[in-house]
Amino acid sequence: VTRETILTNALLVLADDVVPGTLVLDGPTIRDVKPGPARSPAAIDLEGDYLMAGAVDVHTDNLERQVQPRSNARWPSRSAMMAHDAQCAAAGVTTVLDALCLGDLGFEKDRVRTFRDGVADLGALGSAGLLKAEHYLHLRCEVPAADMLALLNTVADHPSVRMVSLMDHTPGVGQYADIDRYRALRRAGGMSEASIERLIAELQATRARLRDGNRRALLARLAGRPITVASHDDRTEAEIAENVADGIDVSEFPVTLEAAKAAKSAGMQVIAGAPNIIRGGSHSGNVSAAALVRGGAVDAFASDYVPPSLIEAAFRCAEAFDLGLPAAAALVTERPARLAGLSDRGRLAPGLRADLVRVRLFEDLPVVRQVWCAGERAA
């Protein structure tokens, strides 16, 4: 016996239009999408609210934020995972790639523990059916780090891994091309001048020694696997050219418009940070996502560190850049789903997963009112 759910009197956000209509669910799947109201007395009245596909978040560090709610306070890992899951569901994120860092470049010593616990908890809580959203893993590999390859080997064959990104947070490249900004960041973290200089010299020496070999080994380890491989913090056309030559076809959070445009013209897909749209600029002083959207250089948004930023960015972009809601919504639903190789979701269409978000605009804020993940209420 299948369970039928009828959602009616909704503004359906479809691939190329927004139409008043009705959605019929068959258990976990969308069975029918039709214009106009439903007559069945069992239909649920959505009171004219928007109904769109659930957001797909290909990169969020929100779990790490729950594990460490204060810089000096660690939270028990499973409790953190449940809080993270609830926040995703409440924000309309029905599919989430939990980003976990592999490889230490002197940021947080405990990140390895966060990584190990995160992988274990995801397996345990997921198979017990206790998570509201559907979770996958996004492995953020710190390419020049001495411990990266060994950590990757512990998890590379895990079935939940959908995406791997190649990071390099060495001072002098990518996000930290400006070494003075890097110094200021370390100073703010309480490090002495002498230790900062020692750390910079050490990290740059390690990079010179390990970066190229680690990158080759990593790409070889993942070759032929159904995993999306992305570059991260691209700054120059030369970096894009190296990615293209290595068969990497996604550029995540490019830090200059030049790199984003080079990525697009080379046929790569570009992921931008949704918080950057909400805050009106980059938190780390790089190119604004608005400039990337205006330059036609964004294929998908990721929430990066604030789950509600996805749905909010979609509505904001629909208005601010004249994209229209269907195209703007696709940047947080269908486009990231496709990018992560998930072809069974991301649109309101018969046969796809019933991952749904009901949204009402309160002034200019999209308020998520109800969420379904594979036909089950998740919020």
Q: Residues interacting with Zn ion, by CB under 5 A?
A: 175, 233
Characterize the bridge pairing of strands 228-232 and 250-252. Answer: parallel
DSSP letter for each residue of 282-333: -TTS---HHHHHHTT--SEEE-BT-TTHHHHHHHHHHHHT---HHHHHHTTT
Question: How far apart are CB 104 and Zn ion at their closest, in Å?
Answer: 15
**Closer Cβ to Zn ion, 207 or 347, answer by number:** 207
Question: How far apart are CB 157 and Zn ion at their closest, in Å?
Answer: 26
Give the DSSP H/E element, type plus range, for residue 378: none
Question: How far apart are CB 5 and Zn ion at their closest, in Å?
Answer: 41
The sign of the torsion formed by the CA atoms of 53, 58, 302, 229 equals: negative
* Closest C-alpha among 303, 372, 376, 365 to residue 92: 372
CA 195 to chain CA centroid, Å, is: 34
Question: How far apart are CB 232 and Zn ion at their closest, in Å?
Answer: 5
**Closer Cβ to Zn ion, 81 or 255, answer by number:** 255
Residue 96's identity, in one-letter code, is V
Give the DSSP H/E element, type plus range, for residue 24: strand 18-26
Supply 130's token pair.
């206790």
**Closer Cβ to Zn ion, 286 or 333, answer by number:** 286
**Closer Cβ to Zn ion, 233 or 299, answer by number:** 233
**Closer Cβ to Zn ion, 32 or 258, answer by number:** 258
**Closer Cβ to Zn ion, 174 or 366, answer by number:** 174
Question: How far apart are CB 240 and Zn ion at their closest, in Å?
Answer: 16
**Closer Cβ to Zn ion, 77 or 175, answer by number:** 175
Question: How far apart are CB 169 and Zn ion at their closest, in Å?
Answer: 6
Contacts of residues 115-123 at CB distance under 8 Å and 24 or more positions apart, as own/partner, are 115/151, 115/155, 117/67, 117/77, 117/78, 118/63, 118/67, 118/77, 118/81, 119/155, 119/158, 119/160, 121/77, 121/78, 121/81, 122/81, 122/98, 122/160, 123/160
DSSP letter for each residue of 117-147: HHHHHHHHHHHTT--SSEEEEEEEEETT-TT
Give CA–CA dist 58/56, Å, rounded: 6
Question: How far apart are CB 343 and Zn ion at their closest, in Å?
Answer: 28
**Closer Cβ to Zn ion, 196 or 271, answer by number:** 271
β-bridge mates for residue 139, sequence order: 100, 164
**Closer Cβ to Zn ion, 99 or 325, answer by number:** 99
Question: How far apart are CB 116 and Zn ion at their closest, in Å?
Answer: 22
| Coil, strand or helix at 52 | strand
Question: How far apart are CB 105 and Zn ion at their closest, in Å?
Answer: 11
Question: How far apart are CB 233 and Zn ion at their closest, in Å?
Answer: 4
**Closer Cβ to Zn ion, 9 or 175, answer by number:** 175
Give CA–CA dist 180/103, Å, rounded: 23
Taking every pair of Cα atoms in the chain, the longest distance, rounded to a whole number of angstroms, is 74
Residues 6+ away with beta carbon under 8 Å from 81: 63, 66, 118, 121, 122, 125, 131
